[in-house]
Structure 1
Amino acid sequence: MSTMALAPRVVALVLLLAFLLAPQFFAPVFAPLTHNGAPPIYTQASLLDLAIAHLELVALATVGSAVVAIALGVLVTRRAGAEFLPLSRAIVNIGQTFPPVAVLAVAAPLVGFGQAPTLIALFVYGLLPIFENTLSGLQQVSAAVVESAKGAGMGGLQRLVKIELPLAAPQILEGVRLSTVIAIGTATIGSTVAAKGLGEVIIAGLLSDNTAFILQGGLVVGVMAVLIYDAMTALERIVLRRRGVRR
Structure 2
Amino acid sequence: MKPGSLLARHVAPVPTSRRWLVPMAWFILLLMLSAGMGQLEWLFRLVEPDVREVIYRRAGFFALLGQHVMVVGVASLLAVLLGVGGAIAVTRPAGRDFLPLVSQLASIGQTFPPVAVLALAVPALGFGTLPIVVALLLYGLLPIVRNTLAGIDGIDPDVHEAARGMGMTAGEVLRQVELPLAAPVIIAGIRTSVTVNIATAALGATVGASNLGDPIIAGIVNGNTAYIVQGALLIGLLAITVDSVFERLQPASQA
TM-score between both structures, scaled by the size of structure 2 = 0.89
Distance 1:84 1:197 in 2: 37
Q: Does 1:234 align with 2:222?
A: no
Preserved contact between residue 71 and residue 129 of structure 2 (Cα < 8 Å): yes
**Count of residues paired in the alignment:** 241
Aligned residue in 2 for 1:21: 35
Distance 1:193 1:157 in 2: 43
Aligned positions of 1:183-194 closer than 5 A: 183-194=197-208
Aligned residue in 1 for 2:76: 62
Q: Does 1:96 align with 2:114?
A: no
Q: Does 1:156 align with 2:167?
A: no
Give CA deviations for 1:149-204 in whole Å, capped at 9, x if unaligned.
11111111111111101100000011111110011000000011000101111000
Distance 1:113 1:126 in 2: 21
Distance 2:203 2:104 in 1: 24
Give CA deviations for 1:20-78 in whole Å, capped at 9, x if unaligned.
11221111111111143331211110011001100110010001001101111111211
Distance 2:51 2:242 in 1: 35
Distance 2:101 2:45 in 1: 53
1:233/1:11 Cα in 2 relative to 1: closer, same or farther (>3 Å)? closer
Distance 1:148 1:7 in 2: 39
Preserved contact between residue 26 and residue 240 of structure 2 (Cα < 8 Å): no
Q: AA paired with 1:49?
A: A
Aligned residue in 1 for 2:212: 198
Residue 56 of structure 2 aligns to a residue whose secondary structure is coil
Measured after TM superposition, the shift of residue 97 of structure 1 is 1.5
Residue 204 of structure 2 aligns to a residue whose secondary structure is helix
Greater RCO, 1 or 2 (C-alpha within 8 Å, sep 6+): 2
TM-score between both structures, scaled by the size of structure 1 = 0.91
Preserved contact between residue 33 and residue 210 of structure 1 (Cα < 8 Å): no
Aligned residue in 2 for 1:176: 190
Aligned residue in 1 for 2:96: 82
Unaligned runs of 5+ in 1: none
Q: CA RMSD in A?
A: 2.0
Overall identity of the aligned pairs, in %: 38
